[in-house]
Amino acid sequence: MKHFLMAAAIIMSVSAAPARAAFPGMTASDIPEYEPSPENLVSREEFRNDRFGIFLHWGVYSMLATGEWTMTNNNLNYKEYAKLAGGFYPGSFNAAEWVSSIKASGAEYICITTRHHDGFSMFGSGATDYDIIDATPFKRDIIKELADECHRQGIAIHFYYSLIDWGREDAPRGRTGLGTGRPLDTVDPDSYFEFMKAQITELLTNYGPVRAIWFDGHWDQDSNNDFDWRYDELYSLIHSLQPGCLVGNNHHLIPFEGEDIQIFERDLPGENTAGLSGQDVSDALPLETCQTMNGMWGYKITDQDYKSVRTLVQYLVGAAGRDANLLLNIGPQPDGNLPAASIERLNGIGEWMDRFGYTIQGTRGGDIPPHDWGVMTKKGDTHYVHIMNLQDNSLFIPFTSGKIKKATCLNDGSEVKFRQDKDGVLLKLGKVPSEIDFIVELRL
């Protein structure tokens, strides 16, 4: 009943349908307009409130310690690559320790790769023998253990699922995975899509409540405009199995019909420094940007160039100021441990979140756009000015959303003097800020 009432309250403020985009081979009139369920609207709102999640890229590729694209980058034969599974035994994996460390960072959800582009399934699947139960000596369902622990500790679980497969003989061929040695006469899209639907059904049937399915790989067919990913079937299946489950797709385009989240890769919404996020920003859907702690998604033993806690916190705050979540990635080691450097970053972010997490979680993007100095967030009549890059002891902001009653520096509790007129507010900070995030609370 609580969820139904919450949905009824937010349905007036949440747009029911994202920007429409026809599926290849279909006209817009062929696709029934997507109407998200009340449970889905609740999930969207909970997702927005979380603001921070942790991404986990983990699979047999971690054994090679050269990143998750090793199979295609080095044209590894698909039959030889599959032999890696015979030695995959992450004996140090402890779901409770993982979830506890992630929860202590202030993150509210975890998204893990259930099947990446190499085709190995990290869960027990009846649709293939190339999975954690049948193909490895470990014979424990990683996804089951992690999902169960997330449910115990009150962390939402999201499942990453690749649309492409460099190892399956029936998988459609795109621009990647062409050198893995598979015969060309075995491609069977019907067989492959039935396989994917079977696995998605397993993931949404055997692992309790799943708050999101995170698709990747659409871009593999970017030179084949007529390719049909059959999203009408995949998305409808997800929403029918778990109406509250959100659909996101890392396709680098405007949202398609049936999607509930808009994803940006390696860039904050509205930016495109990495060349992957040039799409328009939706004003109807929750937003999420995914970013790495170091340079890779999967474990790479030579990549120790981890971003500082300062950089990561400022990225998280920058996302919130753009009304978006940050999904921050960790590549677990093949032995089942999270890298020590990633634990250090989680601890550092957690210390900041313990003090200031309330200024981003449960907030919405501010009433003024991001600036070089930082961003704003808001919660009701309280507005937060996040100053992260300022060389002056005063700051003018074109804030005209109401009369300010009081301004307080949350870092030390001191009162901030200000002058307000019809053009905005001049904050007299009294010093040049040096903190990771100098936060001024404005009460109207």
Whether the CB-CB separation of 292 and 19 falls below 8 Å is answered with no
Enter the pTM of the model: 0.93
DSSP 8-state assignment for residue 372: T
Average pLDDT value for residue range 414-421: 97
What does the alpha-carbon distance between residue 322 and residue 270 come to, in Å, rounded to a whole number?
Answer: 9
The mean of the pLDDT values for the chain is 93
Could you tell me the two tokens for 355? 């003090």
Give the model confidence (pLDDT) of 367-386 as tens digits.
999 999 999 999 999 999 99
What are the C-alpha distances in Å from 421 to residues 369, 397, 418? 19, 11, 10
| pLDDT recorded at residue 33 | 85
- What percent of the chain lies above the pLDDT cut of 70? 93
Say what angle helices 2-10 and 38-50 make with each other, to 10 degrees: 80
Residue 22 scores a pLDDT above 70: no
Q: Pick the residue with more confidence: 110 or 28?
A: 110
Average pLDDT value for residue range 88-116: 98
pLDDT band at 14 (very low <50, low <70, confident <90, very high): very low
Per this entry, what is the length of the chain?
444
What does the alpha-carbon distance between residue 87 and residue 38 come to, in Å, rounded to a whole number?
Answer: 45
Q: Pick the residue with more confidence: 223 or 1?
A: 223
pLDDT band at 31 (very low <50, low <70, confident <90, very high): very low
List, in order, residues 6 or more apart from 86 with CB less than 8 Å away.
135, 136, 137
Distance, CA of 300 to chain centre? 20
| pLDDT recorded at residue 32 | 59
Average pLDDT value for residue range 95-114: 98
Average pLDDT value for residue range 4-11: 41
Residue 5 scores a pLDDT above 90: no
C-beta pairs of 294-297 under 8 Å, 24+ apart in sequence: 294/331, 294/341, 296/67, 296/68, 296/331, 297/55, 297/57, 297/67, 297/68, 297/329, 297/331
Residue holding tokens 């069977």? Answer: 188
Whether the CB-CB separation of 287 and 323 falls below 8 Å is answered with yes
